[in-house]
Structure 1
């Protein structure tokens, strides 16, 4: 595994899909944008442009789960979206628990910019994607490094 890796993260939704980028050295993520979607299908040309610009080595997609960790009906739709990304770009896609990411994003936006900013759903979705990615980088990526270093 190389030292520096670039990641993209998606917070999947039926009307909007938040997108963030991050990297492995600082394990930080930055919200990029929210893509409009129709019934969960984004404009794939926009996704192509994001992939071309950022050239990610891995993808993280937030996996919606119930608070008890069980799957919900939306979990399957998100998994299908992740599979579409994997197939279209031949890239490793990780699903990561996204419980409470939107609540955390809304709280952060409220703290920084007040309640009026919460009406900008695009900001919430993109920040949620960044929160999902940072959580994955702090947890799963560290575990991957630990396993690969011991091999």
Structure 2
């Protein structure tokens, strides 16, 4: 688990699909990218219950989609410092280490706000926004990461 793009890249095979995670207290948004790291797509939202159930679903997605690495959103404070949410997201990502995949922690400070702004601009109702915002935020996080990785690698 790292926040260093070069370390993450060196741990990955050439290409392959990545799974993005927007880790919240009530839900985990999932997003996928293509093997060439061109675009990220919102996949699903997991209602958090017990970690073992969350892990079961994430493991299934990894197997179904041939995932080679994980990108976990890291909710830092606006000044870059850590909060309770940051620690909770890091702990969740740490618990994914036994999956044996490289994990990149990606700064997600503006992801949910940016996605919500886009959904409002698209005239999506509040009720519908609530159902899609976490997986859309995961796609936003993953897109930022693959763009950053492509630029550095």
TM-score for both structures, normalised by structure 1: 0.84
1:106 aligns with 2:119: no
Query: Which residue number corresponds to residue 134 of structure 1?
Result: 143
Q: CA deviation at 1:115?
A: 4.1
Count of aligned positions = 142
Match of 2:94 among 65, 73, 83: 83
Counterpart position of 1:55: 66
Cα deviation digits, residues 19-60 of structure 1 (max 9, x gap): 000135252100001100037775332222211111211100
Unmatched 5+ stretches in structure 1: 146-151
Residue 109 of structure 1 and its aligned partner are, at CA, apart by 1.7
Paired residues of 2:55 and 2:96 also in contact (CA < 8 A)? no
Conserved 8 A contact 1:19-1:129: yes
Q: Which residue is equivalent to 1:116?
A: 125
Contact 1:8 1:22 in 2 (8 A): yes
Deviation of 1:142 after TM superposition, in Å, equals: 2.9
TM-score by structure 2 length? 0.83
Check whether the contact 2:119–2:129 (CA below 8 A) recurs between aligned residues.
no
Deviations 1:48-106 (A, max 9, x none): 2211111211100000001111111111110111111122x111000000011001111
- RMSD of Structure 2 on Structure 1 (CA): 2.0
3-state SS in 2 of match to 1:43: helix
CA 1:39–1:102 in structure 2 vs 1: closer, same or farther (change >3 Å)? farther
1:45 aligns with 2:56: yes
Gapped regions of structure 2 (runs ≥ 5): 1-11
Say if 2:17 is the partner of 1:6: yes
